[in-house]
Amino acid sequence: MNTGKNVNIYDIESVSLRFIGKNKKLIITAVVIILLFMAVNLCIEINYAYKLSKVTNIVPEYRLDKFYYNYLSYREQLLYKNIAGAIDTCAEYSETLPYRYTVNEFNRVVKYLLADNPEYFYVNASSAELLSTRNKSRIQLTYLNTPEEIEDMRIELNMALDAAKMSVDENSDEFEREIALHDYLIQNCTFADINQVKSDFLNTAYGALVMGKAYSDGYAMALKMLYDANNIFSLVVYGTANNQPHVWNMVYIGQRFYHVDASWNDADLPFESELMFHGYFNLSDDMIWRDHKPEDKSILPSAGENKTYYHINETYIDNLVSLERIVNRELLEAGYAKRNYIELYLDLEDDVDYYEIIINVIKRINNLQNDFKLMPVYRDYNASYTNNAMTLRVFYENE
């Protein structure tokens, strides 16, 4: 048996009408407020869209000294400069910009900023954060040391740059300066063993030039700083080498671009620390692409020809006649300089046995002069994984 009261639908409608009648003004006011709020928001969005369209149509600024900066939109360039201003003063927050930025835009700007400016070695890039509220953005930054410590580190880095500059002959030409600065870096830095060395600065120019330990990105940042300080234009290239994350440089010399990988030229042989290698110096795209792959090839300048260390120093050998002549010259120069190695590039047929030719040159040199005596033996080290660049270790009698 149903003991509940019967509910009349007409009673419900009557109550609703009475409620609406009594609260009509309140409901209308609420609706008006909602509509006004929506209208204000729409106006704000329309105004932002108009402002965004205006800034989007502005042609980006072009700077000769900042390679990656030139591949950003004008709005992204504003963010780039905004972050740089904060980093210069070690500020925790950048100034607020009247634009929204996506995470992808933010990440690209930070990466390009640090690639263009290796002097910002003290920024903790992985913890940089994009803070956006409505149509405004600012960046929160953290640093690897205190402002006072960072200032001391800047001084140390500048002293290292000055020392490198002093190692360059003031009468040297552009190529000679390029080689000298490259060699200074690999003579004063070793590739860091991740299992032995722990530091936040191993991927920075400070790590390479002050601490003397770095990963590939530290070498690349340091080489860019060295070249920048000596009026040689260069850029940092992100990518892979032998399918592992890797960083190297491109350099603009003699009105052409070339690839230079200082970290791969630094063999760090514990038993032959004085030997030099230049297998990855001033390579063309075709040569470097054999084992290096850039992250974004489309924005990189073309490196169409080789001006390798071996071409510059006339130790590129492509026939047997030049092999004998060049080896003879290089061994004589090494002997008089008391140097125990020579560097060659042997572009010869695979079946050519050059060992006996070099041994015969050593014997002839010993017979023609008495200032030094070479042992009739040598050891060769490959200077490249993918070409025939090599360093020959020679031995002196009574060594």
The reply to whether 156 and 237 lie within a common domain is: yes
Q: Identify the pLDDT of residue 1.
A: 47
Residue 306, class by beta-carbon neighbours within 10 Å (0-12 exposed, 13-18 middle, 19+ buried)?
A: buried
221 CB-near residues (< 8 Å, 6+ apart):
118, 121, 203, 204, 205, 208, 236, 247
Strand partners, 378: 394
Q: Is residue 14 part of a domain?
A: no
The conformation of residue 172, written as its DSSP 8-state character, comes to -
Q: Is residue 386 part of a domain?
A: yes
The reply to whether 278 and 357 lie within a common domain is: no
The reply to whether 301 and 325 lie within a common domain is: no
Q: Which of 140, 173, 203 is the last residue of a domain?
A: 140
The reply to whether 101 and 209 lie within a common domain is: no
Q: Which of 286, 290, 291, 278 is nearest to 303 (CA)?
A: 286
Q: Identify the pLDDT of residue 55.
A: 57
Tokens of 283: 């390579």
CATH at 194:
3.10.620
Q: Is residue 9 part of a domain?
A: no
Helix (H, G, I), strand (E, B) or coil at 258: strand
The reply to whether 229 and 285 lie within a common domain is: yes
Q: Is residue 236 part of a domain?
A: yes
Going by their DSSP bridges, the two strands 213-214 and 190-191 should be labelled as: parallel
Q: Is residue 179 part of a domain?
A: yes
Helix (H, G, I), strand (E, B) or coil at 29: helix
Helix (H, G, I), strand (E, B) or coil at 257: strand
Question: How many Cα atoms are found within 13 Å in the side-chain-facing hemisphere of 339?
Answer: 15
The reply to whether 259 and 299 lie within a common domain is: yes
User: Which residues of the chain register pLDDT less than 50?
Assistant: 1-2, 48, 50
Going by their DSSP bridges, the two strands 244-253 and 233-241 should be labelled as: antiparallel
Domain that holds residue 79: 68-140
The reply to whether 126 and 155 lie within a common domain is: no
Neighbours of 134 (CB within 10 A): 10
Q: Rounded to an integer, what distance in angstroms lies between the CA atom of residue 193 and that of residue 215?
A: 8
Q: Which of 13, 29, 56 is the last residue of a domain?
A: 56
The reply to whether 186 and 206 lie within a common domain is: yes
The reply to whether 51 and 77 lie within a common domain is: no
Q: Identify the pLDDT of residue 53.
A: 53
Q: Identify the pLDDT of residue 78.
A: 93
Q: Identify the pLDDT of residue 69.
A: 97
Q: What is the pLDDT of residues 168-219, one digit of tens each?
A: 998 999 999 999 999 999 999 999 887 767 789 999 999 999 999 999 999 9
How many distinct structural domains can be found in the chain?
Answer: 4
Q: Rounded to an integer, what distance in angstroms lies between the CA atom of residue 264 and that of residue 157?
A: 23
The reply to whether 111 and 255 lie within a common domain is: no
The reply to whether 179 and 268 lie within a common domain is: yes
- The model's pTM is 0.84
The reply to whether 28 and 73 lie within a common domain is: no
Q: Which of 122, 140, 158 is the last residue of a domain?
A: 140
Q: Is residue 181 part of a domain?
A: yes
CATH at 383:
3.30.1370
Q: Identify the pLDDT of residue 54.
A: 57
Q: Identify the pLDDT of residue 268.
A: 81
